[in-house]
Structure 1
Amino acid sequence: MPVFAVTYVYGPDTETRMEHRPAHRQWQAEQNAAGVILASGPLDETPQPGGLLIVSAEDPDAVAQLLTGDPYHRIGVIEATHIREWTPVYGPFAQG
């Protein structure tokens, strides 16, 4: 199955984002347990806070649909989302 690198750029409402972080992380944990989100975590705050998700899905549309379930998406604290197919050559996500 294809692998995608998803980057989030968070908006300026840090207070709301932090308030909903436990639900965001719980959603990620559930997707990880299901084998959909392979890895995730925050990106450096410079120049703007964001996150990186490595996702296994059929196509970019399936990734976009998955992301609508993220509590951060529902509350509107994500300023931009970038979905790019990624071909891991080495490491745990490499596909033979």
Structure 2
Amino acid sequence: MPVFAVNYVYGPDTDTRMESRPAHRAWQSELYEAGTVLASGPLDNVPAPGGLLLMQAASREDIEAHLANDPYASVGVIDETIVREWTPVFGPFSQA
């Protein structure tokens, strides 16, 4: 199954993001339990705050459908979402 690297770039509304964090993490936890989220976590603030999610699904469209349900998306704290298919060669997510 394809693996995707999802890079979020957060906007300046830190208060709303922090208020929504428990729901965002619960959403991730559900997808982790379902095997869709492989790993996730925040990125440092340089050049802007963000997050990285490693996800697997049958297609990019499936990933985008999941991302549309992220509570962060519904409250508008994500300025940019970059979804790229990733081919892990070594490590725990490699498909070899």
Shorter-chain TM range is over 0.9
Amino acid at match of 1:53: L
Amino acid at match of 2:5: A
SS of equivalent residue, structure 1 residue 79 = strand
What is the CA distance between 1:59 and its match in structure 2? 1.4
Structure 1 partner of 2:48: 48
Structure 1 partner of 2:95: 95
Q: Which runs of 5+ in 1 are unaligned?
A: none
Amino acid at match of 2:22: P
**Counterparts of 1:68 and 1:20, CA distance in 2:** 15
Moved over 2 A (4+): none
RMSD of Structure 2 on Structure 1 (CA): 0.6
The 5 A counterparts of 1:10-25 are 10-25=10-25
Structure 2 partner of 1:67: 67
Amino acid at match of 2:73: H
TM-score with structure 2 length normalisation?
0.98
Q: Which runs of 5+ in 2 are unaligned?
A: none
Amino acid at match of 1:81: T
What is the CA distance between 1:60 and its match in structure 2? 1.1
What is the CA distance between 1:86 and its match in structure 2? 0.1
1:46-75 C-alpha deviation (Å, 9 max, x unpaired): 110000000001111111111011100111
Structure 2 partner of 1:39: 39
SS of equivalent residue, structure 1 residue 4 = strand
